[in-house]
Amino acid sequence: MPAKRDAYKRDTYTPDSLLTVAVRVFNERGYDGTSMEHLSKAAGISKSSIYHHVRGKEELLRRAISRALDGLFGILEEPRAREGRAVDRLEHVTRRTVEVLMTELPYVTLLLRVRGNTDTERWAMERRREFDQRVAELLKQATADGDLRADVDVRLATRLLFGMINSIVEWYRPGRAGRGATTSEEVAEAVVRTAFAGLRVT
Amino acid sequence: MPAKRDAYKRDTYTPDSLLTVAVRVFNERGYDGTSMEHLSKAAGISKSSIYHHVRGKEELLRRAISRALDGLFGILEEPRAREGRAVDRLEHVTRRTVEVLMTELPYVTLLLRVRGNTDTERWAMERRREFDQRVAELLKQATADGDLRADVDVRLATRLLFGMINSIVEWYRPGRAGRGATTSEEVAEAVVRTAFAGLRVT
């Protein structure tokens, strides 16, 4: 069908560049609401060209989620997340989680939004809970060390900390120039100050 | 059509009880994804019975959003939000915002999720921004008074504070019994302690 083929550009995608397009569409339409047709249109190549790269949209989801998870779990392997007092390791993990969220924004956004209708989504939610659990254990240890206040429940404190961190995906848009442009280091520092030292001057 | 009418129960709804059903469906399916057919099925009454109460789904949205906004803007009229140092007014507003969010959970959840495809949604987003702006002004004043740290940008601090507060809709489920059951006062206190005094023991 040469007439139809004209609608498509030559497939110069790599698995990575195709993933970039797919994640944008997943975040715009929701994973459930995205068909191979939508991906084909957004990429400007035929569905069969996409199938040349991946088995289907669930594989694209799995790759995207893996990228977010590799970034997040990688933090826990960093020396400053593994050595020293729990409270300092927790602050390091908090700071780096904000940085990874901001540098891998579309991938982490997707991870935070999946809802569990397929095996891949359920696996994503399971791994995300595992990460939250690792951070909760640091909070628990830091509280036991007497470094974190005991009058805020550990479970609740973990939720509020992640609430603050994860909300960044709602407003941060990279490359938005001008007044109020913010680097990931600035935001990470603000989160650490707010969550651990508090906004009030003491 | 008596055969069809059998599928419906007698319409004993009041505008308020119909609203409860509609808001649940809006939050489950998204406002855009909800048809009058969905509302009719969920309520167990015919579409024409629904039209007896309201002009359509946009009126149900407007009523639901108004309920959330009345709760939130009502906070700003409370004496402790109007009198005293800005930092104390801010803490009061933070505490009460958490409480209103938790007691009016489905209505505030809907407010936080609308995306601006209709006039009513755009009005909701506009009013929500107005509320955030009023809180941002309190933060600004408290910083000018020297009561809040000047090394976290006011705009960013406002976003992080609302990030923490609004994330409660992601996990709080009223009436969930047993271990970890949490009252709105406990959560409000935890948010105020975390955001203003910080998690670290000083």
SS3 per residue for B37-90? HHHHHHHCCCHHHHHHHCCCHHHHHHHHHHHHHHHHHHHHCCHHHHCCCHHHHH
Backbone angles phi, psi at B172, to 5 degrees: -75, 125
Contact A194 B191 (CB under 8 A): no
Q: Which of B197, B65, B168 is nearest to B122 (CA)?
A: B65
Q: Which of A149, A186, A193 sits opposite B193 (nearest CB)?
A: A149
Q: Which residues of B touch A197 (CB under 8 A)?
A: 149, 198, 200, 202
Mutation choice for B interface testing from A138, A140, A160, A184 by most B CBs within 10 A: A160
What is the C-alpha radius of gyration for chain A, rounded to an integer number of angstroms? 20
Q: Which residues of A touch B187 (CB under 8 A)?
A: 156
Q: Which of B165, B171, B194 sits opposite A195 (nearest CB)?
A: B194
Contacts of residue B84, defined as CB under 8 A and 6 or more positions apart, other chains included, come to: none
Contact A151 B193 (CB under 8 A): yes
Encode chain A (202 residues) as per-residue pLDDT tens digits: 444 554 677 888 988 899 999 999 999 999 988 999 999 999 999 999 999 999 999 999 999 999 999 999 999 999 999 999 999 999 999 999 999 999 999 999 999 999 888 999 999 999 999 999 999 999 999 999 999 999 999 999 999 999 999 999 999 988 765 555 689 999 999 999 999 999 998 7
Q: Which residues of B touch A164 (CB under 8 A)?
A: 160, 163-164, 167
Mean pLDDT of B169-176: 86
Contact B190 A148 (CB under 8 A): no
Q: Which of A157, A167, A182 sits opposite B167 (nearest CB)?
A: A167
Residue A140 CA to residue A142 CA, distance in Å, equals: 6
Quick: pLDDT tens for A24-77.
999 999 998 899 999 999 999 999 999 999 999 999 999 999 999 999 999 999
Check residue B2 and give its pLDDT: 46
Class of domain A2-54: mainly alpha
Contact B163 A159 (CB under 8 A): no
Interface pTM (ipTM) of the complex?
Answer: 0.90
For A197, the closest chain B residue by CA position comes to: B198
Residue B104, pLDDT above cutoff 90 = yes
Q: Which of A79, A106, A112, A111 is nearest to A93 (CA)?
A: A79
3-class DSSP state of B96: helix
Q: What is the mean pLDDT of chain B?
A: 92
In chain B, what are the domain boundaries? 10-58, 65-197
Mutation choice for B interface testing from A169, A200, A202 by most B CBs within 10 A: A200
Contact B197 A196 (CB under 8 A): no
Residue B190 CB-density burial (10 A; 0-12 exposed, 13-18 middle, 19+ buried)? buried
CATH for A65-197, options being 3.20.20.110, 1.10.357.10, 3.30.70.240, 2.60.120.10 = 1.10.357.10
Check residue B11 and give its pLDDT: 84
Domains A2-54 and A65-197 share a fold: no
For A191, the closest chain B residue by CA position comes to: B160
Q: Say if CB A131 and CB A71 are below 8 A apart.
A: no
For residue B45, the one-letter residue type is I
Residue B77, pLDDT above cutoff 70 = yes
Residue B5, pLDDT above cutoff 60 = no
Residue A16 CA to residue B127 CA, distance in Å, equals: 41
Asked: is B10-58 a CATH 1.10.10.60 domain? The reply is: yes
Contact A196 B196 (CB under 8 A): no
Of all residues in chain B, the percent with pLDDT exceeding 70 is 94
Residue B3, pLDDT above cutoff 80 = no
Check residue B50 and give its pLDDT: 94
- Reduced to 3 DSSP states, what percent helix, strand and coil does chain B have, rounded to the nearest 5? 70, 0, 30
